[in-house]
Structure 1
Amino acid sequence: MVQVALTAALILLAVLGIFQVLVALGLPYGRFVWGGQHRRLPPKLRVGSLIAVLLYVGFAALLSSRAGVLPGSESFIVRVLTWVLFAYLVIGIGMNAISRSRSERWTMTPTTVVLALATLAIALS
């Protein structure tokens, strides 16, 4: 179960990371991120997208550690941060669900739900 959850989380984080790089490069998919107000992201949001990629890498490392693929799975800080990540994703579900952008609501909300459920499964392991 944990390996399935980790695989799902890593795939989603990779896809989200690639997508954030694409919008940071100026591709016209801004309606799916950052509230969906811009077709092409302005410079500050492009930087935000690149920062998001770094966060996704950190999330992937954290989840991999908690799942036992990387060292530290029983570390107190890894356990706590996994639950913090889960809480962050639950908040993200709500934020995506109330987005003014229909594109963001219909793509990012279910994506975040799956990512949160995968994180929960890993946190409970």
Structure 2
Amino acid sequence: MLSAWIGSFIFAGAAVFYILLTLGLPYGEFAMGGKHRIMPSQMRVACAVSVVIQLLAILYLLQAGHVISIGLPFDRGVYYFFAVYLILNTVMNLLSDSKKERLVMTPLSLVTAICFGLTAIMRGS
């Protein structure tokens, strides 16, 4: 399922990005409001937690798209949860003071939200 591949690819890129933020690389202008070029230690912890959530979401998405089979239970609510979460994330990115975050992260978040929604809809049919 193409939407699972696209969503997973974007989320994998986001996970790598958040790993770099966790390690202290200076890309903070693209995330979490863009106020910190290098994330302070508390925000690095939040970035690390985000990576774990993103990786779990990738596994769910790839399984729903019949790309992998690892025994995760199918629950359409999980996909809708991520779709709604990413729509809210898109809105927050649009409202960010950081132009970089608005221009880069907003469309990525929106496309990923659509991928989760489409996967949930198509998987159920």
How does the TM-score come out when normalised to structure 1?
A: 0.90
In the TM superposition, what is the alpha-carbon distance from 1:88 to its structure 2 partner?
A: 0.8
Q: Which residue of 2 aligns with 1:31?
A: 29
In the TM superposition, what is the alpha-carbon distance from 1:72 to its structure 2 partner?
A: 5.0
Which residue identity is paired with 1:38? H
Q: Which residue of 2 aligns with 1:117?
A: 114
Q: Which residue of 1 aligns with 2:97?
A: 100
Return structure 1 stretches of 4+ with deviation > 6 angstroms: none
Deviates more, 1:61-70 or 1:113-122: 61-70
Root mean square deviation, CA, Å:
1.3
How does the TM-score come out when normalised to structure 2?
A: 0.90
Query: Map of 1:78-93 to 2, 5 A cutoff?
Result: 78-93=75-90
Number of aligned residues: 120
5+ residue gaps in structure 1?
Answer: none
User: Quick one: distance in 1 between partners of 2:4 and 2:98?
Assistant: 29
3-state SS, counterpart of residue 25 of structure 2: coil
Are 1:7 and 2:10 counterparts? no
In the TM superposition, what is the alpha-carbon distance from 1:121 to its structure 2 partner?
A: 1.2
The question of whether the paired residues in 1 share the 8 Å contact of 2:83 and 2:113 is answered with yes
User: Quick one: distance in 2 between partners of 1:108 and 1:38?
Assistant: 16
The question of whether the paired residues in 2 share the 8 Å contact of 1:66 and 1:72 is answered with no
3-state SS, counterpart of residue 58 of structure 1: helix
Superposed CA deviations along residues 2-60 of structure 1, whole A, max 9, x for unmatched, are x2111111111111111111111111110001110001000001111111100001111
Q: Percent identity?
A: 28
The question of whether the paired residues in 1 share the 8 Å contact of 2:60 and 2:72 is answered with no
The question of whether the paired residues in 2 share the 8 Å contact of 1:23 and 1:30 is answered with yes
5+ residue gaps in structure 2?
Answer: none
